Amino acid sequence: MELRLPKDFFMGAAMSGPQTEGAYRTGGKLENIWDTWSDLSISDFYNKVGSYVGNNFYEKYEEDIKLFKSLGLDSFRTSIQWSRLMDQDQKLNPEGADFYHKVCACAKEQRIELFMNLYHFDMPAYLYDRGGWENREVVEAYAVYARTAFREFGKEIRYCANRKEVKDHGDTGILLGSKLKDGDRVVIIEDVTTSGKSIEETYPVIKAQADVEIKGLMVSLNRMEKGQTDKSALEEIKEKYGFEANAIVNMGEVVEYLYNKPYKGQIYIDDGIKKSIDGYYEKYGAGKNI
């Protein structure tokens, strides 16, 4: 059976500003929490390559984008660093803006579609020190940053995301900061079970912060993965750590609908969503039973 991708399907790569740009003290860039983490705990980074250098995309963006093109890719996702685009007075940093304009121009020249994210866990450190997202001042500062980015790059970037993985910002704050105190009750939130690997990394970090009670694990997507035994990863986590592990959304129930099977339980697909899904299949000439 031959499967064809839709004509307007994007085949691309994904990265982010704080993970790849490097040059974290260059061009008027402010310190962000990735940089703080890199400075305080460089051993957490593979081969101790922190945000000070990343992949050196800041210096080698032209080479990298041409490399994407040579691989047959037609798109890539990255992010603008809030701490590079804006100064501490919430004004545009011209050097930072110039860098992102050059990235946009290079992508256009190579006929690569750019997907831009505005926030990849890289809050400016001075705003994190003021309380992060819990402080309304920080929320308003982000709104200023977003409006500035849209005005500056609106004619160059067709696809833009507000931020990456909204639910994880609280988790990241816990791992980077020290807001936990003895006696706190904590529920850990993860994207997927990943056969228990991510919880094995997260659990000791949280327990090292304070004498807290872990009440449970919630995953936003249960991929029904096997653990190291014949049991599911979620079942293994329950047995090993002694707390409940549950899925907020079970993707299997969505798949059951897509393949025209009964579904039940944790997810409700209303008529509007069904119509959108059916429209997708009609548009791309695929049936539910492929």
- pLDDT grade for 171, boundaries at 50, 70 and 90: very low
Please report the pLDDT score of residue 83 as a whole number: 97
**In whole angstroms, what is the distance from residue 241 CA to residue 189 CA?**
15
Kindly report, as residue ranges, where domains of CATH 3.20.20.80 are found in the chain.
Answer: 12-161
For residue 175, the model assigns a pLDDT of 46
Bridging pattern class, strands 75-79 and 12-14: parallel
CB atoms within 10 A of CB 22: 21
Q: Report pLDDT digits (tens) over 182-218.
A: 877 777 766 655 555 667 767 777 777 778 888 777 6
pTM across the whole model: 0.66
Q: What is the pLDDT of residues 5-15, one digit of tens each?
A: 788 888 999 99
Sign of the C-alpha dihedral, residues 89, 90, 93, 94? negative
| pLDDT tops 50 at residue 268 | no
d(CA 84, CA 76) in angstroms, rounded, equals 20
Query: pLDDT grade, residue 168 (50/70/90)?
Result: low
Residue of 154, 188, 191 lying closest to 174 (CA atoms): 188
Beta strands 12-14 and 159-161: pairing type?
unpaired
Return the pLDDT at 91: 97
Q: Which secondary-structure segment (H or E) carries 217?
A: strand 213-221
Superfamily of domain 12-161 in the CATH hierarchy: Glycosidases (3.20.20.80)
Asked if pLDDT for residue 263 goes beyond 70, the answer is: no
Closest CA to 10 of 56, 100, 76: 76
The whole-chain average pLDDT of the chain stands at: 79
Q: How far is CA 122 from CA 20, 79, 126, in A?
A: 12, 10, 11
Cβ atoms 161, 116 nearer than 8 A: yes
Mean pLDDT of the region 39-63: 91
* Residues assigned a catalytic role: 167, 169
Residue 31 token pair? 């310190």
